[in-house]
Amino acid sequence: MARPLTLITGASRGIGAATALACAREGHDVVIHYARDEQAAQAVATQATALGVRALLAQADVAVQADVARLFETIDREAGPLTGLVNNAGIVGAKARLDEVDAERLQRMFATNVYGSIWCAQQAVRRMSTRYGGAGGAIVNVSSVAARLGSPGEYVDYAASKGAIDTLTLGLSKEVAAEGVRVNGVRPGITDTGIHASGGQPDRAWRLAPLIPMQRPGRPEEVAEAIVWLLSDAASYTTGAILDVGGGR
Ligand code: NAD
């Protein structure tokens, strides 16, 4: 039987890289998508290949619709048919109150986190849904506990973008449920990745550990395991679910 083929966006590092490797361990062929860091993506692909699966490297800016279309055409040509999508690529801004956020930041945030997930989900549905002659599939959207907490004083804009992701998961799951496509989400809590440094708070994950019931940040691999389960046939009757993976936060 053909192996599942899963695209993980933003897979050169962090939760995306851990998810790509967890998928590979479960026998998925993987598409390691990256924005700029080809070398890091290549290193993840090499590790995946060593696990005995196929790994395709593919570049795109998920915020650009035409780039996403090109990404999926590359997958069709070089690997298809796609059976899984993990909408993981995302950004956070520097710590700021909402009244300090400028238009450029807001546009970039929503273009990446929300529009990017929608562009990818549209392309995936057009390939997986029985409505389009596909054989079914599964999508997992990476949200955040911020969608529930609101992140006041840090990044309400980011939290709002993740709230949109949760609604996308709920709505799309119902739209395609009878067409063989499951759509679920995970809400990571504070996870120890480079995103905090890119948001100007490199020590954030451990500084905020006392606020986490389990008293420590999560590891990317712990989020990856939840994603892999949601992609798998073990979750065959689970759709529209959004799983908190946040150490109790
Ligand atoms: P990360 O910064 O390590 O990884 C994010 C990835 O997204 C990077 O590979 C980056 O290149 C990619 N990316 C960003 N903008 C892109 C664009 N326009 N086009 C293509 N790729 C782009 O961060 P992470 O912590 O691994 O985050 C992964 C996901 O998890 C994000 O959606 C993030 O919001 C979410 N999340 C993270 C945490 C956390 O504490 N680390 C908590 C909750 C949710």
141 Cβ inside 6 Å of ligand 1: no
ipTM: 0.99
The pLDDT score that the predictor gives to residue 138 is 98
Q: Whose CA is closest to atom 8 on ligand 1? A: 10
Neighbouring-strand partners of residue 234: none
176 Cβ inside 6 Å of ligand 1: no
What are the DSSP calls for 155-218, one per residue? -HHHHHHHHHHHHHHHHHHHHHGGGTEEEEEEEE-SB-STHHHHTT-TTHHHHTGGGSTTSSPB
Asked whether 245 and 188 are in contact (CB, 8 A), the reply is yes
Say which amino acid occupies 148: R
CA-CA distance, 245 to 189, in Å (whole number)? 6
**What is the rounded average pLDDT for all residues in the chain?**
97
- Please state, for a pLDDT cut of 90, what percent of the chain lies above it: 96
- Please state, for a pLDDT cut of 70, what percent of the chain lies above it: 100
Number of domains in the chain: 1
Q: What is this structure's pTM?
A: 0.98
Q: Identify the burial level of 211 via C-beta atoms within 10 angstroms of its C-beta, where 0-12 means exposed, 13-18 middle and 19 or more buried.
A: exposed
32 Cβ inside 6 Å of ligand 1: no
The pLDDT score that the predictor gives to residue 94 is 94
List, for residues 198-241, the tens digit of each pLDDT value: 888 899 999 999 999 999 999 999 999 999 999 999 999 999 99
Q: Could you tell me the residue range of the domain that residue 98 belongs to? A: 5-245
Ligand 1 centroid – CA 54 distance (Å):
23
Q: CATH number for the domain including 156?
A: 3.40.50.720
